[in-house]
């Protein structure tokens, strides 16, 4: 393409753009003229309507004056008439004209009243519509506020349900550290309890229990444990299992397939103090079995009803308490639950053992708890001066004791 062709194309392009701009200006001018014409037509119609109304009023006024003039003329003729017969005829015409005028004004008054009534009805209708609209707006706002209020309640309820509860009851406490980790492929999630040094013996109940390199179901298998007694020096919870580190240092075993050798604390415990002797907490308690299984009867009939008569099941491990920190508890001085009145005296003790109870989310959901994670309860065990076995969470405190001693 040479320069001449390029200049011709540019000139043609500019001409087309100019034509398009002119067409657009002409369209706008035409639209403006049409709007002006339409406005002029409306103004003309309004003017014609006003003229028609004026003419109609003039005709009405003229018609009323003609009626009055006709009656006046008849009265004059009656006054001038000398013949009684002529007077009577004129009088009849006068009465007839008066009757016509009266009928006319009655009809006119009726039309005015009907027009006023229609106008008043239109005003009332508009007021009713406005009132109805206000009522609709009120109920709409009220409905939206109820939705927002319900949403707020649902949000806080969900937040409370999904938070890491430290027990089923709001007064139970536990010490749980939850961490989530994902491998490079993003396919695994591990929830684990903070590891804790401890020493306790377990009895392996199956043949050749796998020893793994770390506390994970996907960790490398480094050996097997035959049936027998082994010492655990550290525990972790991961992948739905409680893991124990062997004292020999060979690795970790799943404590779910073991029984604890220490059966001294395996017994039934009852809730020690309730504020009312009619409270369902009178039936609350837990049982520690020798096979490492924990059975919880929490909140008595209320949880039992929600769980269709089935207790909540969990797993527990016992660790030796090696710290010097004192723990809160009640003075346990009787073999029955304390009901009503003031709470028992609070004391501080140094426990003998720590009992950690693991409850799966499936068990919690059976009891009506809408939780997304497993829960862990921690109790501290000791024997009081009477030799009774007592468990306390050390916080509220929530205290359980064994009655049968």
Query: What structural domains does the chain harbor?
Result: 180-260 (2.30.30.40), 268-401 (no CATH)
What is the pLDDT at residue 175? Answer: 31
CA–CA separation, 381 and 386 (whole Å): 14
pLDDT, averaged across the chain? 80
pLDDT attached to residue 188: 33
Q: In this predicted model, what pLDDT tens digit does every residue of 315-343 receive, in sequence order?
A: 888 887 888 889 999 899 888 888 877 88
Instruction: Express each pLDDT in 43-94 by its tens digit.
Output: 888 888 899 889 888 888 898 888 888 888 888 888 888 888 888 888 888 8
Q: What are phi and psi of 359, to 5 degrees?
A: -120, 125
Strand partners, 400: 271, 391
pTM for the complete prediction? 0.44
Angle between the N-to-C axes of helices 3-80 and 84-162, in degrees from 0 to 180, rounded to the nearest 10 = 140
CB atoms within 10 A of CB 366: 17
Q: What is the pLDDT of residues 195-214, one digit of tens each?
A: 555 677 888 888 889 999 99
Q: So what's the pLDDT on residue 198? A: 61
């Amino acid at each position: 393409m040479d320069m001449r062709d390029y200049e011709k194309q540019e000139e043609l392009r500019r001409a087309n753009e100019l034509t398009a701009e002119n067409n657009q200006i002409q369209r706008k001018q035409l639209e403006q003229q049409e709007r002006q014409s339409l406005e002029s037509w409306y103004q003309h119609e309004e003017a014609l309507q006003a003229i028609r109304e004026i003419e109609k009023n003039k005709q009405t006024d003229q018609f009323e004056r003609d009626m009055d003039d006709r009656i006046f003329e008849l009265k004059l003729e009656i006054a001038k008439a000398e013949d009684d017969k002529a007077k009577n005829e004129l009088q009849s015409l006068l009465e007839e004209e008066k009757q016509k005028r009266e009928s006319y004004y009655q009809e006119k008054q009726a039309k005015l009243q009907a027009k006023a009534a229609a106008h008043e009805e239109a005003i009332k209708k508009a007021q009713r519509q406005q009132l109805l609209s206000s009522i609709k707006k009120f109920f709409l706002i009220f409905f939206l506020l109820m939705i927002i209020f319900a949403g707020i309640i649902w949000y806080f309820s969900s937040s409370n349900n999904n938070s890491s509860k430290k027990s089923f009851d709001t007064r139970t406490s536990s010490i749980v550290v939850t961490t989530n980790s994902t491998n490079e492929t993003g396919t695994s999630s591990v929830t684990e309890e903070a590891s804790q040094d401890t020493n306790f013996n377990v009895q392996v109940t199956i043949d050749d229990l796998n020893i793994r390199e770390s506390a994970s179901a996907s960790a490398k298998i480094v050996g097997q444990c035959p049936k027998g007694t082994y010492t655990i020096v550290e525990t972790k919870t991961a992948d739905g299992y409680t893991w124990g580190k062997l004292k020999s240092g060979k690795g970790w075993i799943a404590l779910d397939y073991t029984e604890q050798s220490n059966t001294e604390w395996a017994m039934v415990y009852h809730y020690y103090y309730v504020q009312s002797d009619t409270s369902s907490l009178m039936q609350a308690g837990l049982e520690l079995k020798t096979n490492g299984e924990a059975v919880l009867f929490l909140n008595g009939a209320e949880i039992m009803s929600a769980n269709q008569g089935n207790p909540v099941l969990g797993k527990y491990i016992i660790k030796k308490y090696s710290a010097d920190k004192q723990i809160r508890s009640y003075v346990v001085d009787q073999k029955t639950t304390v009901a009503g009145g003031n709470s028992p005296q609070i004391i501080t003790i140094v426990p003998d053992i720590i009992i950690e109870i693991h409850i799966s989310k499936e068990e919690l959901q059976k009891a009506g708890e809408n939780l997304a994670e497993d829960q862990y309860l921690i109790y501290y065990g000791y024997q009081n001066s009477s030799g009774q076995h007592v468990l306390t969470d050390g916080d509220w405190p929530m205290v359980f004791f064994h009655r049968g001693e």
